[in-house]
Structure 1
Amino acid sequence: MGNRVGRILVPFAILAAVGAVAVTAYVAAATMVARTVVTPARRRKQDVDILSVAPDLSAVTVSGTADALAVPGRYGLWFSDDRGYALLGDVIAEAEDGTVTRAVESVRWGALDEARRGRLGGWFFTSPAELGLPVESVDIVVDDGTAPAWLFPAAETSDRWAIHVHGRGARRQETLRAIPLFHEKGYTSLAISYRNDGDAPDSADHRYGLGATEWHDVDAAIAYALASGAKDILLVGWSMGGAIALQTAVRSPRADSIRGLVLDSPVIDWVETLDFQADEMRLPRPVTEGALLLLDSAWATSLVGQDAPIGLAGLDFTLRAHELSVPVLLMHSDDDGYVPAGGSHRLAHLRPDIVTFVPFAQAKHTKLWNYDPVRWTNAIADWLDELSADLGAVNDEDTSYSARGEDR
């Protein structure tokens, strides 16, 4: 009898041990994913193979998995572990084996002909000096010190400012593409840094808040602008910068100075975005759900390394659409490949009264300007013109009321 019981209990013991190992592996995987979501990456993936370069440096042949590798437009090519940078033009040829030959507009620095690996980017401009506009470096007082920013004064004194907010893993340079247009439209522009981006001071936990904490730094930039004479402020957000701008619009004590939002490839719903990225990486569904649970749980902050849980529901603007009260220009590509456009479509459907939605078909993530600068620029210019007309009408109405009050 004892031997029979022993023979029965042994398999159960093995199953229990296997189960414990599986649970441990599951928790470890979910923790790793959660930490990856909120941990700033200091090194970018080199996903372009540089196969050959024309002798006169006029063209480069590449392959790899980079976003927009074969998409028409103008892009930046970082190479040799970011020790070099070149500006790429349109596609010259595309072979059946997946190799792509693109025009090289210029090599800004580095030896492209010696490069073997690189990465494609949408920044294009890497320095404010490249825009040929007056600019000065300023410091904005934030929670843990001062955050550097670039200030581009309007050609004529203006109380209309645009604050430009870059995305996750990027820096202020990402926003430079938009500066000339806002300058032309009479806006002073402030291209800001924020916590954990490598320029501004890090937060105490060195973790992204996905917009839930970074909005404080945008609010500090609004305070700076108001102290410098701004009255009407636009927030221009790219990718996670769009999520940060949305949080600022509903949480800032200075929100009444925000007149509108311009959002390029924004994260509208983080759960949708993280689900999409997990599917792209072929992560098991339980691991994805576990990571989301960890990000949102107070008991898991020590595992993830956060000071506080994210609060993902509060970052979903398909749930908070009713809280928005200012005009929004929303631009997103259906083939984004990083932040799905579904949330943008839903927000536009929920708030057609204030949201102007400009969809793209194949521009990839935050590369709408690169793919079609004319359409991108015209969309913003038309929206700004309409917004200016509305603001002018409101100001005229306020003046009229003021005059009637003085008469009485």
Structure 2
Amino acid sequence: MITGSASQERSETSMARRRESTQVPGWAIAALVGGTAATLIAAAGAVVTALVSRAVVIPSVPEDDVEILHYDQAQGTVTLSVTNDSILPGVYSLRFSADAGHARVGEVRSVADGAVVRPVLGVDYGDLETARKGRISGWYYTHPRELGVPVDEVEVITPVGPAPAWFVPAPEGVGRKWVIQTHGRGVRRGETIRAIPVFREHGYSSLHISYRNDGEAPPSADGRYALGDTEWQDLDAAIAYAVEHGAEDIVLMGWSMGGAISLQAMGRAEHRDRIRGIVLDSPAIDWQDILRFHGKARHVPELVGDAAFATLSHGWGGVATGQSEPLDLERLDFVRRAAEVTLPLLVMHSDDDDYVPVSGSRRLAEARPDAVTYVPFQIAGHTKLWNYDRDRWNTAISTWLTAKGL
């Protein structure tokens, strides 16, 4: 009978012999581990590339990023956590509780101990008393009627279906001069209401449009943004609507991605001969520049960024992004296409824009000083130029319209 210790000894000896007979050379282990690591790295890179690519084209809703610390209804003030937006000078929207509420806030009263106090100029809807999170927005207004102007709810028949729009007639009634307002990425037409007064002063009727995938207009077949490369078709439909209703001289105004949409319409719209000029607020001029800017801010390796560009701009990338058609990033680059600018442009952009870098606007202005009137802002951030310095913003548009005979 074999004792337990003898049995264990034989077993260990047998295992040792098996290890010796099957031992893998050190160089092979290194190669295997290295290969596995490379495979894992490649797989991880592919996943990150897919996520980055999808984030560019999938519509999203801005997140509440400021804490609402206290609302003093008696004093008419709200105390917010300090963020880059919450301490900006000017007047703003405070959208709260995941867009369930909207208030308007005035100039900063005080900043201390990580908190900023601002006056509440009005609560349009929602319960600010119980709200815990919100975000500062440049919209300020929620509907044109808040300006005391007549407004009609209309529909523009776009290639993806009927899209709601607001129409505000000129003071003397519907005339030949129209401005068509196109909002930016991830927001809605309410963003553009701020421009109504200055254009009305110059005799313009205003059409404030929605477009595919913005949450108001019908979605596209793939439900993806094309950064202006397909959305311009909805603006084209709005231009046709304006022409059908008497517009002869049309100015386009684009905010952020709405700028890219407007620039595409400049050369591609059916009635582009009616467009007299374009006003751009914080515009997306060069998407590759914008995406590199965001990649660097999020510490995305440059190789991953380049791979994301390839994914977005080639047909095979649709497997990762869900796009039905690839993006033509070069066609969306109006720094590269500066020679094709055929209309006078007014470009307003803030040097500290942390969403759409100012570099594209500056380079376009430098390339085409004959066509581009460039008005720089500081501190104002992204699409908050009006909020930060309303007089300067209105004066820039008014002066430009007068100088161009528009």
TM-score normalized with structure 2 length: 0.92
Equivalent residues, number:
386
- One-letter amino acid of the counterpart of residue 48, structure 1: V
**1:34 and 2:53 matched:** yes
Cα separation, partners in 2 of 1:45 and 1:64, compared to 1, 3 Å? farther
Task: Give the unaligned 5+ runs of structure 1.
Answer: 392-408
Corresponding residue SS for 2:89: coil
Residue in structure 2 matched with residue 99 of structure 1 by the alignment: 115
Residue in structure 2 matched with residue 406 of structure 1 by the alignment: none
- Any conservation in 1 of the 2:165–2:208 contact (CA below 8 Å)? yes
Structure 1 residues 247-256 or 372-381, which shifts more? 247-256
Residue in structure 2 matched with residue 46 of structure 1 by the alignment: 64
Corresponding residue SS for 2:63: coil
Structure 1 residues 1-10 or 133-142, which shifts more? 1-10
Residue in structure 2 matched with residue 339 of structure 1 by the alignment: 356
Distance 2:299 2:275 in 1: 40
- One-letter amino acid of the counterpart of residue 54, structure 2: R
Alignment of 1:6-405 (within 5 A): 6-41=25-60, 43-65=61-83, 67-95=84-112, 97-156=113-172, 157-388=174-405
Shift of 1:111: 2.1
- Any conservation in 2 of the 1:77–1:88 contact (CA below 8 Å)? yes
- One-letter amino acid of the counterpart of residue 139, structure 2: W
Deviation string, structure 1 residues 81-121 (Cα, Å, up to 9, x no partner)? 222211000001112x4321111111112221222111111
Residue in structure 2 matched with residue 395 of structure 1 by the alignment: none
Distance 1:208 1:69 in 2: 29
Shift of 1:286: 2.4
Shift of 1:236: 0.3
Shift of 1:8: 2.7
Distance 1:319 1:7 in 2: 53
TM-score normalized with structure 1 length: 0.91
Corresponding residue SS for 2:343: coil
Residue in structure 2 matched with residue 405 of structure 1 by the alignment: none
Residue in structure 2 matched with residue 396 of structure 1 by the alignment: none
Cα separation, partners in 2 of 1:55 and 1:283, compared to 1, 3 Å? same
Corresponding residue SS for 1:148: strand
Distance 1:84 1:57 in 2: 20
- One-letter amino acid of the counterpart of residue 28, structure 1: V
- Any conservation in 1 of the 2:82–2:116 contact (CA below 8 Å)? no
- Any conservation in 2 of the 1:57–1:113 contact (CA below 8 Å)? no
Corresponding residue SS for 1:174: helix
Shift of 1:315: 0.7
Shift of 1:57: 4.9
Shift of 1:5: 6.0
Cα separation, partners in 2 of 1:98 and 1:278, compared to 1, 3 Å? farther
- Any conservation in 2 of the 1:47–1:64 contact (CA below 8 Å)? no
- Any conservation in 1 of the 2:335–2:364 contact (CA below 8 Å)? yes
Task: Give the unaligned 5+ runs of structure 2.
Answer: 1-19
RMSD: 1.5
Corresponding residue SS for 1:91: coil
Higher-Rg structure is 2
Residue in structure 1 matched with residue 7 of structure 2 by the alignment: none
